Amino acid sequence: MTAAAAARTALPRRGAERRTVTTARVVVAEWTKLSGLRSTLWVALGTVGAAAGLAVALGLFARTDAAGPAALVVSGSVLAQLGALVLGVQVGAGEYGTGTFRTTFTAVPRRLPVLVGQVLVTTGVAVVTAVGALLASSLATWGQRGAGPLVAVADAGTARVLAGFVLYQAGVALLGLGAGALLRRPAAALVATVLLLVVLDQLLATNPGRVADTARALLPGAGARLVQDDARLAALDAASLGPHLGAWGGGLVLAAWVVVVLAAAAHRLRRYDVAASMGE
């Protein structure tokens, strides 16, 4: 080492240390970016409102003796999943629309830590939002259920449905994040994930058969089985000619989709130009 180089490294030592990019700092930066957006708060509030609102609306029709106490509380997930999806898509694709990604990837040239940070931050927000949605739905359907303000976790089935709601919301948010990071355009990512989660399932449901039922079981929407109680799962399995995955099996299918889409996004991020997505 030459004297000049030694002098250069010795002098700005404090500064050099401060400039080091660690995953923890990237996570903090992603949290700052996400929590600094007003739209994040609105999406979270909208998700909670949609879940509780749909639960109340469905509660007007539900027969109190037919469904378990938790079934009504989590019934808002049909709408709430869209909130989680939008959250993930915005985190994954938002920076490419505005051009902020240039700053982000100049600061973190290894790029992948950004995706890791986004995964952690999105999971956190999605979980907190889902818990909030459960609380709001419980309070909102208090009178309709005729039980206490909050759902008592009386048995394993109830606990699984409530935890399943949170896990499903987190999984859908991560699917949206992966699609957003992979496609880099919010509208395209949203359309693709809605097709996968909602439309294809509806389409296959109109044409039941061994092939269609197997395909339905392997779509990411199979994760919604986490939210369905045991009686409903049994009814679904009885009507299906495809594989009977059970609740956790459906969750694993969604998890596999999340891993594959995120891996594809990570591959695109590492191997290909980030700036190519601008100016189309």
Partner 1 sequence: MSATAALAPRATTRPATGRPTLRHVVAAEWTKLTSLRSTYAILVATVVVSGVLTHLSASASSGDPGFDPLRSLTDGLVLAQVGPLVLGVLVGTGEHGSGAFRATFTAVPRRVPVLVGQTVATAAFALLTAVLAVGAAVLGILPAAASRDITPDLASGGTPQVLAGMVASLVGTALLGLAIGALLRRPVPALVAAVVLLLVLPVALVLATELAADPTAAPAGGPVPVAEAVVNTVVTLLPAGAAGLLTAPPGSSGVEGAPDLGRAGAALVLTAWVLVPLAAAAVRLRTRDLG
Q: Which residues bind partner 1 (CB under 8 A)?
A: 54, 57-58, 60-63, 66-67, 71-72, 75, 78-79, 82, 86, 89-90, 97, 186-187, 190-191, 194-195, 198-200, 202-203, 206-207, 209, 211-212
Nearest to partner 1 of 26, 175 (CB atom) = 175
8 Å CB contact between 242 and 214: yes
Nearest approach, Cβ of residue 187 and partner 1 (Å):
4
Nearest approach, Cβ of residue 140 and partner 1 (Å):
16
130-168 core/surface letters (b: 16 or more CB in 10 A; e: else): bebbbbbbbebbeebbeeeeebeeeeebbebbbbbbbbb
- Residues with Cβ within 8 Å of 275's Cβ and at least 6 positions away in sequence, in order, are 102
Burial class (CB in 10 A: 0-12, 13-18, 19+), 8: exposed
Nearest approach, Cβ of residue 65 and partner 1 (Å):
9
Nearest to partner 1 of 6, 187 (CB atom) = 187
8 Å CB contact between 85 and 194: yes
Nearest approach, Cβ of residue 59 and partner 1 (Å):
8
The 3-state DSSP class for residue 10 equals: helix
Nearest approach, Cβ of residue 54 and partner 1 (Å):
6
Nearest to partner 1 of 16, 187 (CB atom) = 187
Nearest to partner 1 of 65, 273 (CB atom) = 65
The CA distance from 123 to 220, in Å, is: 17
Nearest to partner 1 of 159, 195 (CB atom) = 195
8 Å CB contact between 34 and 40: yes
